[in-house]
Amino acid sequence: MTNMGKCMQGYLDEQFMELEELQDDANPNFVEEVSALYFKDSARLINNIDQALERGSFDFNRLDSYMHQFKGSSTSIGASKVKAECTTFREYCRAGNAEGCLRTFQQLKKEHSTLRKKLEHYFQARQ
């Protein structure tokens, strides 16, 4: 990951590099645009999941469905740590483990927030 350096290691996988390969002079901001879409989408999903968890009654099917979407878009942008937390969360859903879900979700939000900051710096540095 020659462009990104050490700070991105672990947070973004080769899929992010694939996205960068798709940029050209006519579409120089493609990755930034995809990133913006990702954070818009994921903010909505985080909000939905927060609300669902706050209600207390754990609808594991619904939660799993949200996480499936979250995992999907995280995969498409190459957000490897967030994706890993999504997988763990889904495993807890399938096991009907509410506490596991809650714990994992806190961790997921942390990784997501860290990634967001790193990408903000990354795109600013490109200007």
Partner 1 sequence: MAEVLLPRKMEIPNDPSKFGSPDLLHVLAVDDSHVDRKFIERLLRVSSCKVTVVDSATRALQYLGLGVEEKSVGFQDLKVNLIMTDYSMPGMTGYELLKKIKESSAFRQVPVVIMSSENILPRIDRCLEEGAEDFLLKPVKLSDVERLRDSLMKVEDLSFTKSTQKRELETENAYPVHSQLKRAKI
For 16-82, give the DSSP string.
Answer: HHHHHHT-BTTBTTHHHHHHHHHHHHHHHHHHHHHHHHHTS---HHHHHHHHHHHHHHHHHHTBHHH
**Applying CB under 8 A, which of residues 58, 64, 75, 98 lies at the interface with partner 1?**
75
Residue 27, interface with partner 1 (CB under 8 A)? yes
SS3 12: strand
Distance CA 116, CA 111 (A): 9
Residue 10, interface with partner 1 (CB under 8 A)? no
* Stretch of 3-11, 55-63, 67-75, 99-107 lying at the interface with partner 1 (CB under 8 A): 67-75
Q: Between 60-77 and 14-21, two packed helices, what is the crossing angle to 10 degrees?
A: 50
**Applying CB under 8 A, which of residues 34, 84, 98, 102 lies at the interface with partner 1?**
34
The minimum distance between CB 98 and partner 1, in angstroms, equals 24
> With respect to partner 1, which residue has the nearer C-beta, 76 or 103?
76
Residue 62, interface with partner 1 (CB under 8 A)? no
Instruction: Give every CB contact of residue 33 below 8 A, 6+ residues apart in sequence.
Output: none
User: Shortest CA distance to 66 belongs to which of 83, 49, 43, 88?
Assistant: 49
Residue 50, interface with partner 1 (CB under 8 A)? no
The minimum distance between CB 15 and partner 1, in angstroms, equals 5
**Which residues in this chain contact partner 1 in the complex, by CB under 8 A?**
14-15, 18-19, 21-22, 24, 26-27, 30, 33-34, 37-38, 40-41, 68-69, 71-73, 75-77
